[in-house]
């Protein structure tokens, strides 16, 4: 089947839902395509306490409120997996496994995926002490002993950030040196709350069913194992942006994040990128909804300009 819209939004996280709200509210025929359920990563987040207006709200509840609000203004949401995006003249084509969508503008809100360790307990305790975002969840673990797993910039930098909350932070790395920039390492080594455990891999995350209580570690050189009692495990071993849907070359940085200007425009006319898939300083719900607002407004203006050009061409 083939469908015609003014705007197609790919991805149903907070950014995509906010873009859909603004686009539909501007009387643009808008559809949002999401392969799972609306809400993105916050659906897997037990509690959110850093979104304005909600001192503490469950992630799934906040996602549902955002979805309902967007639908109120006429946003259509379909559960479909997008496989390709490309341009045909002034039209943008979005293909899914089931259908083809044509639109004047497309907003990419596909986010990304934190790299998982793939060890027992990781999925079971996600949102119960296992986290992939220090800025999101660090404040939940005030006074706790925290384990941070990884050795790159993110792991060492976020480990240092977590000392604002934790009583102690263990940096656990499977090698004998960090890959992080030297200046970031120096800050960590100078912090009295940080202890580094070298040549060690996490084998299992343990808990009491409700929250994390420890992590089983193995020294990769000696094979010795031990259990480290901790209240939280933060994992920073990589993040992969979902930015590979384009037939045409879209500009990205060296990590694969899509480059945009301040209007969320990519180098492809009529195609916008927002949220975690876009190159920016931090990955937060508030960033994503701000991006979504900007992209929806910019897309509306782009569509108006297209109409003006077509009208002028007919005269």
Q: What value, to the nearest 5°, has the Cα angle with vertex 288 and ends 14 and 159?
A: 110
Check 6, 18, 68, 136 and give the catalytic one.
Answer: 136
Q: Is 133 a catalytic residue?
A: yes
Check 6, 18, 137, 276 and give the catalytic one.
Answer: 137
User: From CA 261, how far away is CA 281, in angstroms rounded?
Assistant: 14
Q: Is 276 a catalytic residue?
A: no
Q: What value, to the nearest 5°, has the Cα angle with vertex 125 and ends 207 and 57?
A: 120
Give, in order, the Cα–Cα distances in Å from 271 to each of 146, 166, 198: 41, 42, 45
Q: What are phi and psi of 220, to 5 degrees?
A: -75, -10
CB burial class (10 A; 0-12, 13-18, 19+) of residue 29? middle
Three-state secondary structure call for residue 243 = coil
Three-state secondary structure call for residue 189 = helix
Check 6, 133, 276, 291 and give the catalytic one.
Answer: 133
Q: What is the number of other CB atoms lying within 10 angstroms of the CB of residue 4?
A: 11
Q: Is 137 a catalytic residue?
A: yes
Three-state secondary structure call for residue 48 = strand
Strands 212-219 and 225-229, bridge-based pairing: antiparallel
Question: Quick one: which of 116, 127, 118, 114 has its CA closest to 211?
Answer: 127
Spatial contact of 169 and 134, defined as CB atoms under 8 Å apart: no
Return the structure tokens found at 231: 């209240």
Size of the chain in residues = 315
Q: Which residues contact 51 (CB under 8 A, 6 or more apart)?
A: 57, 62, 285, 286
Q: Where in the sequence numbering do the catalytic residues fall? A: 133, 136-137
């Amino acid at each position: 089947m083939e469908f015609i819209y003014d705007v197609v939004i790919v991805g149903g996280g907070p950014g995509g839902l906010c873009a859909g709200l603004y686009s539909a509210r501007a009387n643009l025929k808008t559809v949002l395509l999401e392969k799972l359920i609306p809400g993105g990563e916050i659906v897997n987040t037990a509690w959110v306490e850093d979104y304005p207006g909600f001192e503490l709200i469950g992630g799934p509840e906040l996602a549902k409120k955002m979805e309902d609000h967007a639908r109120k203004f006429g946003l259509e949401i379909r559960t479909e997996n997008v496989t390709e995006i490309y341009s045909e003249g002034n039209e943008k084509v979005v293909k899914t496994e089931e259908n083809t969508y044509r639109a004047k503008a497309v907003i990419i809100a596909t986010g990304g995926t934190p790299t998982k360790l793939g060890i027992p307990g990781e999925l079971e305790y996600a949102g119960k002490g296992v986290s992939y975002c220090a800025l999101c969840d660090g404040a939940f673990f005030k006074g706790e002993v925290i384990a941070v797993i990884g050795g790159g910039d993110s792991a060492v930098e976020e480990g240092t950030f977590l000392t604002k909350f934790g009583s102690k932070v263990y940096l656990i790395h499977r090698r004998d040196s960090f890959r992080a920039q030297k200046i970031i390492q120096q800050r960590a080594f100078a912090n009295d709350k940080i202890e580094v455990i070298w040549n060690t891999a996490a084998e299992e995350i343990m808990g009491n069913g409700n929250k994390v209580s420890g992590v089983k570690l193995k020294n990769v050189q000696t094979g010795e194992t031990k259990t480290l009692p901790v209240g939280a495990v933060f994992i920073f071993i990589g993040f992969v942006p979902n930015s590979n849907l384009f037939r045409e070359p879209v500009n990205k940085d060296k990590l694969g994040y899509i480059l945009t200007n301040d209007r969320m425009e990519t180098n492809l006319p009529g195609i916008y990128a927002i949220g975690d898939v876009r190159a920016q300083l931090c990955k937060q719900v508030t960033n994503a909804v701000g991006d979504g607002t900007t992209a929806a407004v910019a897309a509306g203006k782009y569509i108006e300009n297209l109409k003006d050009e077509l009208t002028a061409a007919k005269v």
